[in-house]
């Protein structure tokens, strides 16, 4: 005997279906609405200036900053022909080679010293992180006194007698020392946090197996903090290649151009000499150089960074 199956559920009203569709659309659109204010400011202060700088690099610009004539690659060719390009690039690389290892080694040493929580450890942790709370102008004034060739404490302690910011052979090294001190705070905090997040079970197991402190650091601690190390290397590299503040305040590129970096050269060409098109071309070249060096750090990321 065949029985007919009947569905007693009432049919959906057309309006209820429309309401559900509107809710789904609103739920899918809502996250993007929250992103709109952030996206607006990113476009306004990042992408638009970059696009405008890229455009001005191909043009001849008047003193008012308005493009007058399209000149193609002429500005870029002149930049590569200019002797200052090689000199400022070399100065920037010298600064980078000194500051990045200096900041990393000192901040890692401080983080290892402060790794274990002890009574009163908060005091020296704050002292190690203090450089990040001091403004650049204040730091420059402090180091001008500390590294003064006649009354400075630095020369008195070391017995060197060097004119740190007045001698072309040592001026860039003096700026690098200043920058190393400024970069210690933020690097110390990141490395300290990563070291304290290393699982203690692994260290205890290694200690039971007879591993000493150096072996524990090289085989367990450092591999586990490599993601943080990679992040710090990338950010410090970008900051070093784009150094401007200490040079602007302390030496203004002197003496004899020994501290003139690429960013400061771009600044003088664009804003002091009024060559906005030429300065824009320098800025674009700096952008691609920084991007190239940043991409090269990803070679280290593939080989030496462990995420587990």
Domain boundaries, the chain: 74-304
pLDDT of residue 267: 95
Residue 300 has pLDDT above 80, yes or no: no
pLDDT of residue 93: 96
Residue 65 has pLDDT above 80, yes or no: no
Residue 21 has pLDDT above 70, yes or no: no
- Least Cα distance to 263 among 255, 271, 63 occurs for 271
- Round to whole Å and give the CA distance between 79 and 156: 43
* pLDDT tens by residue, 124-152: 888 888 888 888 889 999 999 999 988 88
pLDDT of residue 77: 95
- Round to whole Å and give the CA distance between 192 and 110: 8
- Round to whole Å and give the CA distance between 223 and 218: 7
pLDDT of residue 290: 94
> Model confidence at 241, in pLDDT bands (50, 70, 90)?
very high
pLDDT of residue 211: 87
- Round to whole Å and give the CA distance between 54 and 73: 11
* pLDDT tens by residue, 9-18: 555 455 555 6
pLDDT of residue 1: 45
Q: From the options 1.10.3720.10, 3.40.50.1100, 3.40.190.290, 1.20.1250.20, give the CATH code of 74-304.
A: 1.10.3720.10
pLDDT of residue 221: 92
Average pLDDT of span 46-61: 92
**282 prior amide bond cis, ω within 30:** no
Q: What is the mean pLDDT of the chain?
A: 88
- CB count within 10 Å of CB 226 equals 17
Residue 280 has pLDDT above 60, yes or no: yes
- Round to whole Å and give the CA distance between 261 and 45: 24
Of residues 120 and 49, more confidently modeled? 49
pLDDT of residue 5: 47
């Amino acid at each position: 005997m065949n029985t007919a199956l009947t569905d007693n559920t009432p049919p959906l009203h057309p309006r209820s279906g429309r309401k559900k569709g509107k809710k789904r659309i609103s739920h899918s659109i809502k996250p993007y609405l929250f992103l709109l204010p952030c996206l607006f400011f990113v476009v306004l202060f990042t992408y638009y200036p970059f696009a405008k700088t890229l455009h001005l690099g191909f043009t001849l610009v008047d003193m008012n900053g308005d493009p007058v004539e399209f000149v193609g690659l002429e500005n870029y060719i002149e930049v590569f022909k200019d002797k200052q390009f090689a000199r400022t690039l070399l100065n920037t690389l010298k600064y980078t080679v000194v500051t990045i290892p200096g900041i990393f080694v000192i901040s890692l040493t401080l983080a290892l010293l402060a790794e274990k929580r002890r009574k009163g450890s908060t005091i020296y942790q704050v002292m190690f992180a203090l450089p990040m709370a001091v403004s650049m102008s204040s730091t420059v004034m402090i180091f001008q006194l500390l590294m003064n060739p006649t009354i400075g404490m630095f020369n008195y302690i070391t017995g060197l007698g060097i004119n740190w910011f007045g001698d072309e052979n040592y001026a860039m090294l003096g700026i690098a020392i200043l920058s190393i001190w400024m970069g210690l705070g933020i690097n110390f905090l990141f490395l300290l946090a990563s070291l304290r997040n290393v699982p203690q079970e692994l260290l205890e197991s290694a200690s039971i197996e007879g591993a000493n402190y150096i072996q524990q650091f090289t085989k367990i601690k450092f591999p586990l903090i490599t993601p943080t190390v990679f992040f710090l290397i990338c950010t410090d590299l970008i900051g070093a290649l784009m150094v401007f503040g200490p040079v602007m305040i302390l030496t203004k590129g002197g003496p004899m151009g020994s501290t003139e970096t690429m960013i400061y050269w771009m600044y003088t060409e664009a804003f002091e000499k009024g060559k906005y098109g030429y300065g824009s071309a320098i800025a674009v070249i700096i952008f691609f150089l920084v991007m190239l060096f940043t991409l090269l750090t990803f070679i280290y990321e593939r080989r030496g960074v462990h995420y587990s």
